[in-house]
């Protein structure tokens, strides 16, 4: 625990994905007190043409109250 899925547009290199996965694992271990062995990270590429219907509407706009980081807002 946890399994983290990152949805993003195609075009990122394997090295970029690995760097992000490493950062996610490092930060999740620190924030959650989880062990590295218990974490997994996956990437799901979604085309820009499909983003609004496949990701934005159902997962972002449709779950606005559950987002801890909202798009367009600074941390």
Is 72 domain-assigned? no
Domain contains 61:
yes
Q: Domain containing 40: what range?
A: 3-66
pLDDT band at 73 (very low <50, low <70, confident <90, very high): confident
- Determine contact, residues 44/7, Cβ cutoff 8 Å: yes
Identify whether 18 is part of a domain.
Answer: yes
> Domain for residue 23, yes or no?
yes
Please tell me the predicted confidence (pLDDT) of residue 21: 98
Count of domains observed in the chain: 1
Active site residues: 2
CATH of the domain at 47: 3.30.429.10
CA distances 48 to 7, 41, 52, Å, are: 11, 22, 8
* Per-residue model confidence as pLDDT tens digits over 14-70: 999 999 999 999 999 999 999 999 999 999 999 999 999 999 999 999 999 999 999
Its pTM surpasses 0.85: yes
């Amino acid at each position: 625990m946890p399994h983290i899925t990152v949805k993003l547009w195609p075009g990122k290199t394997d090295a970029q994905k690995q760097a992000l996965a490493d950062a996610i694992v490092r930060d999740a271990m620190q924030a959650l007190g989880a062990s590295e062995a218990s974490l997994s990270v996956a990437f799901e590429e979604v085309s820009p043409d499909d983003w609004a219907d496949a990701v934005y509407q159902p997962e972002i706009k449709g779950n606005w109250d559950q987002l801890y980081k909202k798009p367009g807002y600074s941390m």
